[in-house]
Amino acid sequence: MNKTERMLAIVLELQRRSWIRAEDLAATFEMSVRTIYRDMQALSEAGVPLLGSPGQGYSLSEGYFLPPIHFTAEEAVTLLLGTDFVEQQFGQHYRHNAESARRKIESILPERIREQSDPIREGIRLLAQRQTLYTVDDRQYVEPIGQAIVQKRKLQFGYSKPHQQTITRTVCPYGLALNMNHWVLVAYCELRQDIRHFRLSRLSNLVELDEHFVMPEDFKLAEYRPPDHRHMVIRLQFESHMTERIQEVGHFYMETIEPQEQYTIVTMRVRHFEDVLYWILSWGDSVTVLEPESLRQHMIEKINNMLKRY
């Protein structure tokens, strides 16, 4: 990014936000704070009405607006792919909005940019998650939960994990995250008196309550990192010819893959070995559990039970 492009981008950032610090601009554009100061001075000399305040940073004078910016072909493709993603992964309300946004973007693109962007977009496709008869469509909850987050209203729903009873939860919804093709609600649970994560596919009877909540000042979803309770280390020994297949399939709890001369050692870190038990069993006789011993014994029990069925 050259200086002219950077200064234009700075004005767009100022137009997007009420106040922004030089340090934040420096981090955004990967420049030194000194360079940002020089850019702000140049913008001021060029007639851009800047306001400065110690501790707050910079702002544009009210009423100043930069004329619309033309998209490049690559930018247009990026935006249109974004609408494709929203149509696939969000609920019906957002899908309609994404479709409407896509039509508007396409309508304002100059013919030259459309001619350049169409072949690129035609060559890229986002494949939706494969649905089965037993897959719960969790996208139905995205819109009502999103509204509750914005309006700071509590939610109540039934929540059930595999082989467990459904428990009614009352929560303060903090945010939504799409993780491994599954929508997850990050919320303060009144039952557990702590922040918990709830897979939307396990929710039932969702109700928005009249009661409001106050979002903690120090909570930022973009900066939130859940505590890691995966304290159990599992070591597996695979036959060496399975290495590429393991790397291709992968697993959320997989930490390392160490190819050796005759075997490949895989290390996983989990909360309970039940988190990966059936994944390990799916590899049949191509895998051996090295540790922990408790998992080895559980595997023996499972295999013996399987033998009784044949």
pTM (two decimals)? 0.64
Residues 79 and 56 grouped into a single domain: no
> Residue 226: what pLDDT?
84
Q: Residue 7: CB partners within 8 Å, gap ≥ 6?
A: 39, 42, 43
Q: Which H or E element spans position 252?
A: none
Residues 248 and 295 grouped into a single domain: yes
Residue 195 lies in a domain: yes
User: What is the residue type of 257?
Assistant: I
Residues 195 and 165 grouped into a single domain: yes
Tokens at 7, concatenated: 């200064």
Residue 143 lies in a domain: no
Residue 239 lies in a domain: yes
Residue 19 lies in a domain: yes
Cβ contact 198:184 at 8 Å? yes
Q: What is the largest CA-CA distance in the chain?
A: 84
Cα–Cα–Cα angle for 51, 56, 61, rounded to 5 degrees: 25
CA–CA gap between residue 32 and residue 44 (Å, rounded): 19
Cβ contact 240:258 at 8 Å? no
The angle, 0 to 180 degrees and rounded to 10, between the axes of the packed helices 73-89 and 111-122 is 50
Residue 107 lies in a domain: yes
Residues 239 and 284 grouped into a single domain: yes
Residues 300 and 245 grouped into a single domain: yes
Mean pLDDT of 80-84: 83
Q: Which H or E element spans position 237?
A: strand 232-239
Q: What is the pLDDT of residues 153-206, one digit of tens each?
A: 999 999 998 778 899 999 999 999 987 778 899 999 999 999 999 999 899 999
pLDDT band at 66 (very low <50, low <70, confident <90, very high): low
pLDDT at 27 over 80: yes
Residues 272 and 208 grouped into a single domain: no
Q: What is the pLDDT of residues 202-246, one digit of tens each?
A: 999 999 999 999 999 889 998 888 888 889 999 999 998 999 999
Residue 260 lies in a domain: yes
> Residue 216: what pLDDT?
92
Residue 284 lies in a domain: yes
Q: What is the pLDDT of residues 85-135, one digit of tens each?
A: 887 778 777 888 888 888 877 777 777 887 887 787 777 776 665 455 455
Residue 206: CATH number of its domain: 2.30.30
Residue 163 lies in a domain: yes
Residues 27 and 91 grouped into a single domain: no
**C-alpha distances in Å from residue 179, one per residue of 50, 94, 252, 256, 272:** 41, 18, 10, 20, 20
Residues 250 and 297 grouped into a single domain: yes
Work out the number of other CB atoms within 10 angstroms of the CB of residue 20.
18
Residues 95 and 46 grouped into a single domain: no
CA–CA gap between residue 232 and residue 244 (Å, rounded): 25
The domain total for the chain is: 4
Tell me the residue range of the domain where 48 lies: 3-60
- The lowest-confidence range among 70-79, 248-257, 285-294 is 70-79
- Enter the DSSP assignment of 20: B
Residue 269: CATH number of its domain: 3.30.70
> Is it true that the peptide bond before 227 is cis, omega within 30 degrees of 0?
no
Cβ contact 154:172 at 8 Å? yes
Residues 166 and 202 grouped into a single domain: yes
Residues 237 and 297 grouped into a single domain: yes
Q: What is the pLDDT of residues 129-155, one digit of tens each?
A: 545 545 567 788 988 999 999 999 999
Three-class DSSP labels, 157-194: EEECCCCCCCEEEEEEEEEEEEECCEEEEEEEECCCCE
What residues form DSSP beta bridges with 270? 232
> Residue 136: what pLDDT?
64
**C-alpha distances in Å from residue 219, one per residue of 22, 71, 106, 184, 208:** 23, 35, 37, 17, 22
Cβ contact 255:268 at 8 Å? yes
Report which of 43, 160, 152 is spatially closest to residue 35, judged by C-alpha positions. 43
